[in-house]
Amino acid sequence: MKILVDGSLGAHTAALEEPYNDAASTTGMMLYSEGCLEELVTEAHKAGLQLAIHAIGDRTMNTVLATLEEALEKLPRENHRHRIEHASVLNQKLIRRMNRLGVIASVQPHFVVSDFWITDRLGPERARWTYAFKTLIQEGVRTTGGSDCPVEPISPLLGIYAAAYRQSFPEERITVEQALEMYTRDAAFASFEEDDKGSIETGKLADLVVLSHDPRNIPPQKIKDIQVMMTLVGGRIVYENTDIMRETERGIQPIK
């Protein structure tokens, strides 16, 4: 069950604890009162549903985590896998709270590229804690990668590129291997599908792609240029890039 709790940083509608750096008259907006949100979350949790809660601003994150904590105290539930979609503006305390509650961070790494204005919007301190992928992973928060398409490009390769070749606040850059995990094993776990997909293993669905290059063996900045040669769904070929397949007959050329 998805709940949209605040807006976006681009529109100055994500709910912040302090005013926007470039719009001092606003702190954004919450779309639910705390009481209404508590009722929704409690009833969904009680019904055994997995929650996917859109929360971007740090004020929203505080409110959502407090609401989830209360629901889990009233009705403890193992393996709930509640998710926060975006989990954008964070701090160390919020991240550790997510880990303690077992909440999944569902992030969209391409925002790092498109939100090039983030320091102007939030100021350097809050911007440093925005899209804090490395800290999330280091603190033990299960972190899964997505696109937020159609707002951002749908290609997982562009998300992996953005996470592993991060130029703004590079202290939050992650390894290519970590980025791949976010889009495969961790993504499957976040949707309760880890027994069926997320890795190439006997007994799992053969949902996979064949790439022109191994993203682990090229410079991270080149990952965005990798081409999909073939796509299989359930072991059946549903897409072939015939041009690139012909090139493989002569040997794949390095990405320039």
Q: What is the mean pLDDT of residues 19-30?
A: 98
Confidence bin at 253 (pLDDT 50/70/90): low
pLDDT surpasses 90 at 90? yes
Residue 254 in this model has a pLDDT that exceeds 90: no
Q: What is the pLDDT of residue 242?
A: 86
pLDDT of residue 5: 99
| 227 pLDDT higher than 90 | yes
| Beta-ladder partners of 20 | 23
Q: What's the pLDDT score for residue 248?
A: 64
Q: Is the pLDDT of residue 6 over 80?
A: yes
- Reply yes or no on whether the pLDDT at 82 is more than 90: yes
Residue with tokens 């102007």: 120
Please state the rounded mean pLDDT for residues 172-200.
98
Backbone torsions φ then ψ of 127, nearest 5 degrees: -65, -35
Q: What does the domain layout of the chain look like in residue ranges?
A: 2-199, 206-256
Instruction: Check residue 123 and give its pLDDT.
Output: 98
Kindly indicate the confidence band of residue 25, based on its pLDDT and cuts at 50, 70 and 90. Answer: very high
Angle (nearest 5°) at CA 164 between 80 and 199:
50
**What is the CATH class of 2-199?**
alpha beta
pLDDT digits (tens, 9 = 90+) for 205-218: 999 999 999 999 99
pLDDT, tens digit (0-9, with 9 covering 90-100), for 111-156: 999 999 999 999 999 999 999 999 999 999 999 999 999 999 999 9
3-state SS, the chain, equals CEEECECCCCCCCCCCCCCECCECCCCCCECCCHHHHHHHHHHHHHCCCCCEEEECCHHHHHHHHHHHHHHHHHCCCCCCCCEEEECCECCHHHHHHHHHHCCEEEECCCHHHHCCCHHHHHCHHHHHCECCHHHHHHCCCCEEECCCCCCCCCCHHHHHHHHHCCCCCHHHCCCHHHHHHHHCHHHHHHCCCCCCCCCCCCCCCCCEEEECCCHHHCCHHHHHHCCEEEEEECCEEEEECHHHHHHHCCCCCCCC
**Could you give the C-alpha distances from 86 to 75, 90, 214, 229, 230, in angstroms and in order?**
25, 10, 28, 30, 30
**pLDDT recorded at residue 245:** 74
- Which pLDDT belongs to residue 24? 98
Q: What is the mean pLDDT of residues 199-209?
A: 96
Nearest to 174 by CA among 132, 234, 230, 114: 132
Q: What is the model's pLDDT at position 114? A: 97
pLDDT at 243: 81
